[in-house]
Every structure is written in structure tokens, then in C-alpha cells.
């Protein structure tokens, strides 16, 4: 069965004119307004034990546009307004399927500013993108070319907290094809001292992007705290803080993309640990460092790139004692405090803690492949909180492997 092309988003920065920026800002506001009104209508219907679907909210939108109070909705393109109703429908579908929480209202200050256009809402010709209600094409910085012959099926325009404008084009990418199969496999142990430790013995340093810019971030936040609420100077100071955060996030994402691409290209099987990062960041002593390492983002990139290129990612059960188990003889040590970075087994083998853990993960991943074992569901502690494995639970008590 032939494989279909991979849907891939290509994101570019662009610089709008004053008229385009005003039009897009109005569109963002209308999108948020329609989403919140539709959510309120569906919530009221839910209280009456009734269900409202996308078609009904679409009819509501038509009625809203005819009112004097909401006539301004006619000033922007109808495509993003219809798309936000579809997004709300998807949110409710996930809620009813118990895959997500109940949809929340969009905040004017905190929600993401974005608008999605389908093919009827934009024109893409000769490398120029023109959105509906606009006479001039967007001034896009083409940092990389689109795949040859690619035609965007969806375009999403957004503005981040730092004030930067981006356009994301969803296209079929025929260049993404499965790589030639190899017999290489690698175990990957994540950490804080080193970002990654591979079963081959290689250790990848933790860049600690947030720590490198912490002084600049602290200064910007201190200046923001001194500005009067609602003032223009406070808005400027807030944007400076957002720029520092954006710089940190951009560098972190760049490093993770390079690492995951390299690992996927070099290995057929990649074995990682199924860590509950959501629970681990509740530890106040390690939350900042864990968030800066971005383990969840690393795993997400590794998984979708492996799917693209025909590789396999295996997640080993989080309760597997990878650090305390001797990778040579299989002896399980009774305790392994955090400060112990090297240890000697009874068999005489001296282990580096992280390398040993990566080797054990690789062996466990191969066992999963051979036996068909899966990852056990998350279990609960008597106090109701999610439990993590001994090596990551209670790191401040000296038993964490991080």
C-alpha cells in the first residue's frame, strides 16, 4: 500500500503593513469573541441537558452578524470565524471522549492570538500569500523554500507575546520518506546534569538556556513590576520580558530539533523512559530545571519524527529501576542516593549512573519488542497524587536519579 504524503507545517516570520496589522488584530478579536459566545451558548445548552453542534453554532453566527451590536463581525473574513467554531467542536469532541477537560473561555490578554484560513480565505500565487480582505500580499521572510509544487491547504496567522508575526502553512511534503532500515538501537536516559545520556556512553551537555539568560530575564521582570498597571510603559516592559522568553524558547527548540533529527537518522529503535513530567515539575526545587530541559517536547519531537522516517520509539515503564540495576549481572542495588554518580556492583563492575541507566533502558526496550509488553498505566499513591518511580519521586530527599 503506497504511503501518502506527510502533512507538514512550514512556519515563517512576516512583517505586516500598518493596515494589515490592524486587519489581523481585528480578526483576532472577532475570532476570540465568536469562540467565547459559542462556548457560552453551548455551556447554557449543556446546563439544560441539551447538545449544540457545529451546524447550530454556525447558524448562530449568521444571526449574530445581523444584529446591530455584533455587526462588526462582517468587517473581517468569515473563514477564520467558521474555523474557530470547528475548533470548538473538536474541543467538545475530545471532552466527551474523555481525552481533555471542558473547553475554557479565551482571555483577551493571555490567549494565543491566531486566525486560521482555509483555501477559500487566501490566495497563494508565484510565492506570494494574500489573505482575504487584504489587497497586498504578506511580506514573508522565506527562511526555507516550500517543497516543490506544494500548495498550502491551511494557513494560520499568529502573533506571539513578543509582538512577532508568523504565518504557518500546512502542506503535503513529498520529501519526507522512510529512511533505510538499520540494525542500530539506542537507549536514551534524560537528566539535568547532562541533557541526554546514550547507551553508547555518549553524554550530551545540558545547554541550560534559561539559566544563561536568567540575569537578563530578572532585570526585565523587575522593571516590569515597577511600572503602573494599565500604562503604556508597562506594556513596553511586558513585551521586553516576552522577548527574553521567546529568545530562550527559540534556542531550546533549535537544539532539540537538531538532537532528535540526528538520533532518528542514526538509529532504527530508540528507547526512552515513560516519565511523568507533569508530576515531576511539582517539586519546587527542580521545577525550573526540568522545565528548561523540556523533556516532554523532546519526546514529542522524537515520536513524530520517528513516525515520519519509519523508526520505532519504545517507552519503558517509569517504575523500571534503570539506575539501580547492574547492566552486567542484573543485580538490583538496595539504594541509590542522588549524590552517587558512580557505583560498583558486587560482580566487580563499576558503573557510571547515567550510562548504566541508558544501557538498562535499551535492554528493557528490546525485551518489550520481543515479549510484546507495554507500558503500565499510571498508578496512584494513597494520598491521591500520581506516583513516579522511586528514582524520580522525592528528589529532594536524596533518592532522585536526575
For residue 6, count other CB atoms closer than 10 A to its CB.
16
Based on the domain organization, do 32 and 158 belong to the same domain?
A: yes
**Spatial separation of the C-alpha atoms in residues 395 and 115, rounded to whole Å:** 42
Per the domain annotation, does 70 fall within a domain?
A: yes
Based on the domain organization, do 190 and 86 belong to the same domain?
A: no
pLDDT of res. 144 = 92
Catalytic residue among 116, 273, 292, 391: 273
Based on the domain organization, do 258 and 350 belong to the same domain?
A: yes
Per the domain annotation, does 242 fall within a domain?
A: no
Based on the domain organization, do 347 and 282 belong to the same domain?
A: yes
Per the domain annotation, does 193 fall within a domain?
A: yes
Per the domain annotation, does 386 fall within a domain?
A: no
Catalytic residue among 23, 116, 189, 292: 189
What DSSP designation does 71 have? G
pLDDT of res. 226 = 96
Based on the domain organization, do 113 and 194 belong to the same domain?
A: no
Per the domain annotation, does 389 fall within a domain?
A: no
Start-end of H helices in 189-230: 209-212, 214-225
Which of the listed residues 173, 199, 225 is the one where a domain comes to its end?
A: 173
Q: Is 352 a catalytic residue?
A: no
Based on the domain organization, do 162 and 24 belong to the same domain?
A: yes
Scanning the structure block, which residue is given the C-alpha cell 552517587? 340
**Which residue, 76, 59, 257, 236, is CA-closest to 162?**
236
Based on the domain organization, do 35 and 128 belong to the same domain?
A: yes
pLDDT of res. 253 = 95
pLDDT of res. 372 = 57
**Which residue, 256, 370, 357, is CA-closest to 304?**
256
pLDDT of res. 176 = 87
Q: What is the DSSP string of 72-89?
A: GGGGS-HHHHHHHHHHHH
Which phi and psi angles does 4 have, rounded to 5°? -75, 160
pLDDT of res. 150 = 85
Scanning the structure block, which residue is given the C-alpha cell 517509569? 318
- Please tell me the total count of domains within the chain: 2
| Structural contact between residues 343 and 353, judged by C-beta atoms closer than 8 angstroms | yes
Per the domain annotation, does 381 fall within a domain?
A: no
Catalytic residue among 23, 116, 292, 354: 354
Per-residue pLDDT tens, the chain, 402 aa: give them: 445 678 999 999 999 999 999 999 999 999 999 999 999 999 999 899 888 999 999 999 999 999 999 999 999 999 999 999 999 999 999 999 999 999 999 998 888 999 999 999 999 998 899 999 999 999 999 999 998 888 999 999 999 999 999 999 999 988 888 999 999 999 999 988 899 999 998 999 999 999 999 999 999 999 999 999 989 999 999 999 999 999 999 999 999 999 999 999 999 999 999 888 888 888 888 899 999 999 999 999 999 999 999 999 999 888 888 887 887 787 787 777 777 778 778 787 788 888 888 888 988 888 877 665 444 433 333 333 333 343 333 333 333 333
Strands (E), 56-159: 113-118, 122-125, 128-131, 140-141, 154-159
Contacts of 55 (CB under 8 A, 6+ apart): none
Supply angle C-alpha 49, 51, 56, rounded to 5. Answer: 140
| Structural contact between residues 186 and 271, judged by C-beta atoms closer than 8 angstroms | yes
Based on the domain organization, do 127 and 32 belong to the same domain?
A: yes
**Spatial separation of the C-alpha atoms in residues 169 and 172, rounded to whole Å:** 10
Scanning the structure block, which residue is given the C-alpha cell 540526528? 262
Based on the domain organization, do 263 and 167 belong to the same domain?
A: no
Based on the domain organization, do 288 and 366 belong to the same domain?
A: yes
Beta bridge partners of 169: 10, 155
Based on the domain organization, do 36 and 152 belong to the same domain?
A: yes
pTM for the full predicted model: 0.83
Q: Is 354 a catalytic residue?
A: yes
Per the domain annotation, does 68 fall within a domain?
A: yes
| DSSP 3-state of 37 | helix
CATH code where residue 296 lies? 3.30.420
Based on the domain organization, do 165 and 194 belong to the same domain?
A: no
For residue 305, count other CB atoms closer than 10 A to its CB.
19
Per the domain annotation, does 362 fall within a domain?
A: yes
pLDDT of res. 327 = 78
Q: Which residue range forms the structural domain that includes residue 31?
A: 6-173
Amino acid at each position: 500500500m503506497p504511503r501518502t504524503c506527510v502533512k507538514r507545517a512550514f512556519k515563517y516570520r512576516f512583517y505586516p503593513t500598518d493596515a494589515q496589522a490592524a486587519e489581523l488584530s481585528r480578526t483576532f478579536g472577532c475570532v476570540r469573541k465568536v469562540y467565547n459566545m459559542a462556548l457560552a451558548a453551548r455551556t447554557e445548552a449543556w446546563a439544560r441537558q441539551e447538545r449544540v453542534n457545529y451546524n447550530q453554532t454556525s447558524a448562530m453566527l449568521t444571526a449574530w452578524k445581523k444584529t446591530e451590536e455584533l455587526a462588526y463581525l462582517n468587517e473581517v473574513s468569515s473563514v477564520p470565524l467558521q474555523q474557530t467554531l470547528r475548533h470548538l467542536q473538536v474541543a467538545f469532541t475530545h471532552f466527551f471522549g474523555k481525552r481533555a477537560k471542558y473547553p475554557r473561555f479565551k482571555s483577551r490578554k493571555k490567549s494565543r492570538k491566531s486566525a486560521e484560513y482555509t483555501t477559500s480565505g487566501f490566495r497563494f500565487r508565484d510565492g506570494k500569500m494574500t489573505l482575504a480582505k487584504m489587497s497586498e500580499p504578506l511580506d514573508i521572510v522565506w527562511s526555507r523554500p516550500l517543497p516543490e509544487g506544494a500548495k498550502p491547504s491551511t494557513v494560520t496567522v499568529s502573533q506571539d507575546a513578543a509582538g512577532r508575526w508568523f504565518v504557518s502553512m500546512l502542506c503535503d511534503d513529498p520529501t519526507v520518506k522512510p529512511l533505510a532500515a538499520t540494525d542500530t538501537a539506542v537507549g536514551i536516559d534524560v537528566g539535568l546534569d547532562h541533557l541526554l545520556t546514550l547507551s553508547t556512553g555518549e553524554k550530551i551537555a545540558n545547554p541550560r538556556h534559561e539559566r544563561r539568560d536568567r540575569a537578563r530575564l530578572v532585570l526585565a521582570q523587575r522593571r516590569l513590576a515597577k511600572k503602573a498597571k494599565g500604562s503604556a510603559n508597562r506594556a513596553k516592559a511586558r513585551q521586553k520580558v516576552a522577548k527574553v522568553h521567546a529568545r530562550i524558547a527559540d534556542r531550546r527548540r533549535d537544539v532539540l530539533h537538531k538532537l532528535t533529527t540526528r538520533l532518528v537518522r542514526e538509529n532504527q529503535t530508540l528507547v526512552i523512559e515513560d516519565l511523568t513530567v507533569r508530576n515531576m515539575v511539582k517539586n519546587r526545587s527542580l521545577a525550573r530545571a526540568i522545565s528548561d530541559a523540556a523533556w516532554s517536547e523532546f519526546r514529542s519531537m522524537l515520536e513524530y519524527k520517528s513516525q515520519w522516517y519509519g523508526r520505532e520509539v519504545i517507552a519503558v515503564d517509569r517504575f523500571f529501576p534503570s539506575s539501580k540495576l547492574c547492566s552486567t549481572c542484573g543485580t538490583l542495588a538496595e539504594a541509590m542516593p542522588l549524590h552517587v554518580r558512580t557505583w560498583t556492583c558486587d560482580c566487580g563492575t563499576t558503573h557510571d549512573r547515567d550510562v548504566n541507566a541508558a544501557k538498562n533502558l535499551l535492554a528493557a526496550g528490546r525485551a518489550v519488542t520481543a515479549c510484546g509488553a507495554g507500558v503500565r498505566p499510571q498508578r496512584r499513591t494513597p494520598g491521591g497524587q500520581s506516583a513516579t518511580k522511586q528514582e524520580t519521586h522525592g528528589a529532594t530527599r536524596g533518592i532522585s536519579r536526575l
